[in-house]
Chains A and B, each alone.
Chain A
Amino acid sequence: MNARAIQQIDAELIAAHERGDGPTLAGLYEAAAGLRDEQGDVDAACFFLTQAYVFALEAGLDRSGALRDRLIANGREEKLTARIVGVRTAFLPAE
C-alpha cells in the first residue's frame, strides 16, 4: 500500500516539476513526508518536508509557516529572528 502510494506520488511529482507547479509540488512533497513519517524514517521525512517547505515558500503559501515549524521541531531549521519581508506574516516567530 505504502509502496504504491510512494510510486504514485513520484509520478505526480515528476509531472508537477515539468509543469513548474509549485503549490502542487509543496502538497505532494508534504504527502511524501507523511508516508516516511509513518515508516518512522525521520531523515527521509525531513528531506521531503524541506522540499515541501521550499516550494511553499516560493509560492507564498501560508502553509510554509507550519512546514517550517515542523522542521524546527525536528532540529532541521532555525527560528526566524529577523522580520521577514516578502512572505506572509504567518512566518513571523511567535513573540
Chain B
Amino acid sequence: MNHFQQFALDQVTQPVEQARGLPNEHYTDPALHEAEKQHVFFDNWMALCFGKDVPELGDAMPFEALGQPLFVLRGRDGVIRVFQNVCRHRGMILVDRKKRLSGVVRCPYHSWCYDHSGALHTTPHVGGPGYNTHDAIDRSSLGLIEIRSHVWQDIVFVNMSGNAPAFADYAASLIERWGEFEQPIWFGGEDSAFELDAATNWKLAVENYCESYHLPWVHPGLNSYSRLEDHYNIIEPGGYSGQGTLVYRSIISETGEKFDDFDGLGDKWVTGAEYAALYPNVLLGVHRDQKFAIILVPTGMEQTLERVAIYYASPKMQDASMAGMRRRNAELWKGVFEEDIFVVEGMQKGRHAMKFDGGRFSPVMDGPTHAFHHWVASQFKRAP
C-alpha cells in the first residue's frame, strides 16, 4: 500500500460528514482485488454457500471462493464440512460437480479415498500394484485440508485464514440483534431460490443494499407502501449495517392465506422488518413470516453472482399447497432486486471515471453505506 493509497483510506475512515468513498481502484484494479481477497474475505468469515445446496447426507458440491477451489460435503455423520477441493497426492480436483456420495470421496486420478471427515482412507497401489501402503506415505498426515467453517441460519461461512475470531463472536452483535429469530427456518425449495448476475464489483451490491435513500427513485412501486420516512438506519460499526422498515406487511393471498409467523416475536416485528449486510458478502432480511439471504459471489472484479434463498417459519410452508404463495413472494423479491441491477452496474461503470474521487455520503441517509466503506478500509489498514 503506497502513501497515496494510504491517504485515500484515511479519507474513507473520516466521520461520515467529511469522508469520501473508497477510491476507484478498489473496484477496478486487479492488484487491489488480490489484496482484497486476503484482507477482506480470507481473513474474515465469508459466506460460501447455503446448507440447502447440500440437503442430503453425502451431498457434495464444488465452489470457487475467489479462485480457491473448495467443496462442501454434508457428511454421513450429518456434519457439514468444507474442504480444499484438492487431492493430497498430485493435486487433482476431487469434486467436479454436485453429486451424492454413497461412500468415500474417491479421487478420479489415482483413486486415493477420503472419508467424510477428510481422513485418508486408502491409497491404492501406492507401494506398487496390489500394495496399498508404503512406509513413506503416512496417511494420518495426508487427510484433506479442511477449511474452518460455521453454519448459521443455513448459510455456510468460511474463514480461509483460520485466524478470525469464532463466528459466534464475529457476528455476535447481529446474532443478538435478531435473537428472536434464532429458531429453525425452512427453505421454500426450488421456487424460493434464484440467482442474478450483475456486471459489478460485489461491494456496490452491498452498498446499495445498505441504504434506503434510493427507494423512492429506484423502487417507486415499493414506495407506495414503504415510504422513505418509514425507514431507519442500522449501523453497527465493524460488523454490519443496513436499514429497517416500520411498515412491513405480510403477503395475503386472494383467499386470505398467510405464511406462518415465527414463534414468540416481540411487538417490533408485527410491522417491522430489517435488512442488513453482514460483512463482507451476505445480505440478510428478516420479517415476521420469512427470512432471506443473498450470498454475493464475486466471480470477477467486475462481476457478481447474487444467490438468493428464501426461508419460512414452519415446515408447513414447504408444502405443495403453499407453492403459489411462495412463487408470488419470490417473484416480488426478484422484481425488487432486479430493479437494483442497473444502479450497481451503472456505479461500476462510473468507477472507471478517472476524476471520480470516491464520492461523498449524505450524513443522514448514507450512514450504513459509509459504515461498510469504513469496515473495508479498516481491513486494508490493519493488514501488515
Segment at the interface with A among B28-36, B130-138, B265-273, B340-348: B130-138
Q: Contact: B75 with A58, CB < 8 Å?
A: no
Question: Are A85 and B119 within 8 A (Cβ)?
Answer: yes
**Is the CB–CB distance between B103 and A76 below 8 Å?**
no
Tell me the B40-94 residues at the A interface (CB within 8 Å).
Answer: 58, 75-77
Output the least CB separation between B186 and chain A (Å).
26
8 A-B contact pairs sorted by A residue (CB < 8 Å): A50-B130, A58-B104, A59-B102, A60-B102, A81-B140, A85-B77, A86-B76, A87-B116
CB <8 Å contact, A58 and B122 = no
B76 CB, min distance to chain A CBs, angstroms:
4
Contacts of B104 in A (CB 8 A): 57-58, 60, 86-87
User: Smallest distance from the beta carbon of B326 to chain A beta carbons, Å?
Assistant: 33
Contacts of B58 in A (CB 8 A): 86
Partner of B103, one of A50, A51, A58, A82: A58
Contact indicator B103/A64 (Cβ below 8 Å) = yes
Report if B317 contacts A (CB, 8 A). Answer: no
Q: How far is the CA of A76 from the CA of B77 in the complex (A)?
A: 28
Q: Give the CA-CA distance A57 to B76 in the complex, in Å.
A: 14
Size bin of chain A's contact surface: 20 to 34
In contact, A77 and B102 (Cβ under 8 angstroms): no
State the majority secondary structure of interface residues on B. loop
Q: How far is the CA of A78 from the CA of B102 in the complex (A)?
A: 23
A54 touches B124 (CB 8 A): yes
The answer to whether A47 touches B129, judged by C-beta atoms less than 8 angstroms apart, is yes
Do residues A82 and B130 form an inter-chain contact, with CB atoms below 8 A? no
Q: Report which B residues bind A (CB closer than 8 A).
A: 58, 75-77, 101-106, 111, 113, 115-117, 119, 121-122, 124-125, 129-133, 139-140
Known: A57-B106, A61-B103, A76-B130. A84 touches B115 (CB 8 A): yes
Q: What distance in Å separates the Cβ of B162 from its nearest Cβ neighbour in chain A?
A: 21
* Chain B residues closer than 8 Å to A51, beta-carbon distance: 124
Pair B131/A87 contact, Cβ less than 8 Å: no
Instruction: Report the Cα distance A64→B104, complex, angstroms.
Output: 11
A20 → chain B closest CB, angstroms: 11
Report the minimal beta-carbon distance from B286 to chain A, rounded to whole angstroms. 34
* Chain B residue nearest in CB terms to A71: B132
Q: Is A49 an interface residue (CB 8 A)?
A: yes
Closest CB-CB distance, A33 to chain B, in whole Å?
Answer: 9
In the assembled complex, the CB of B4 is this many whole angstroms from the nearest CB of chain A, namely: 52
Q: How far is the CB of A36 from chain B (nearest CB, A)?
A: 10
Contact of A54 among B106, B130, B139, B140 (CB under 8 A): B106
